[in-house]
Amino acid sequence: MNIAQQKEKLRKEISLLKKQYSADDLYNRSEEVLSVLEITGAFQQAKTIFIYNSMDDEVQTLDFINRWSAEKNFYLPVVVKDDIVFRKYVQDTTLKQSSYGIMEPLGDNFTDYKKVDLIIVPGVAFDRKMGRLGRGRGYYDRFLSLISAPKMGICFEFQLLDTIPVDTNDIKMDYIVSENEFIWK
């Protein structure tokens, strides 16, 4: 089995695992993950943060973003053709549903990447070697290759494995956070 096939097999396995949890379970687990994230030095020191607005089966981020929005500047990804751009988010930002069902902010693209202190990245799976498996479209890997800010993957414990299939295009994380683990390079 080649790497692409291994990745697809793992995506299906993780998807089945996620379906074993109710929306409430995933929300409660999300709160645990985020309570670990918010005590890290990387988060505490960051002022300008790229983070994602979660899909139903990902670590739920919106309440967390709103809780910290008075102290941090948050930017959310927006899919534009084959790429992602980031736009400012505050509680009264107008959001529009994307073709993926994700609520994305309207407004201007943020392009001053040198000012970004931390990027909080979703993933289907992560490993303890800092590898990340995304959904397969490459949006994040293409984007993350352009930016030098620290990259923090966040996931549920069942998404964190000892090893996952990765190839040369896959961007490594600097940190990974789950409910019970904080891993750094």
Q: For each of the domains in the chain, give its residue range(s) and CATH number, in order of start.
A: 3-184 (3.40.50.10420)
The pTM score is 0.96
The binding site for substrate consists of 58
Binding site as annotated, residues: 7-11, 58, 132-140
Strand blocks (E) in the chain: 48-50, 73-80, 83-89, 95-97, 103-105, 109-110, 118-121, 125-127, 132-133, 151-154, 160-161, 175-177, 182-184
Q: For the chain, 185 residues long, give each residue's pLDDT as a single digit of tens.
A: 899 999 999 999 999 999 999 999 999 999 999 999 999 999 999 999 999 999 999 999 999 999 999 999 999 999 999 899 999 999 889 999 998 889 999 999 999 999 999 999 999 999 999 999 999 999 999 999 999 999 999 999 999 999 999 999 999 999 999 999 999 98
Q: What is the pLDDT of residue 32?
A: 98
| Binding site members for ATP | 7-11, 132-140
